């Protein structure tokens, strides 16, 4: 499933997903998880209210 998120098509002749598609899939999974937390209100309290463009998280 992670390979599919990374762009692996999963056809019979494709073989197993490689390192690049797995890495990309893990990055997309991380993005999806973060968005799920934001949409459900399940993200850490200290992040709430920060503007999206802020780079000062300290």
Question: What pLDDT does residue 39 have?
Answer: 85
Task: Give the global pTM.
Answer: 0.64
pLDDT digits (tens, 9 = 90+) for 4-41: 999 999 898 989 999 999 999 999 999 999 888 888 87
Q: How confident is the model at residue 57 (pLDDT cuts 50, 70, 90)?
A: low
Instruction: Pull the structure tokens for residue 44.
Output: 């850490």
Q: Residue 38: its pLDDT value, please?
A: 82
CA distances from 17 to 5, 26, 27, 28 (A): 11, 12, 15, 15
């Amino acid at each position: 499933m992670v390979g599919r998120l990374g762009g692996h098509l999963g056809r019979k002749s494709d073989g197993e997903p490689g390192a690049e598609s797995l890495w990309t899939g893990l990055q997309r999974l991380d993005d999806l998880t973060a968005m799920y937390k934001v949409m459900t209100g399940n993200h850490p309290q200290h992040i709430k209210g920060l503007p999206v463009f802020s780079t000062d998280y300290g």
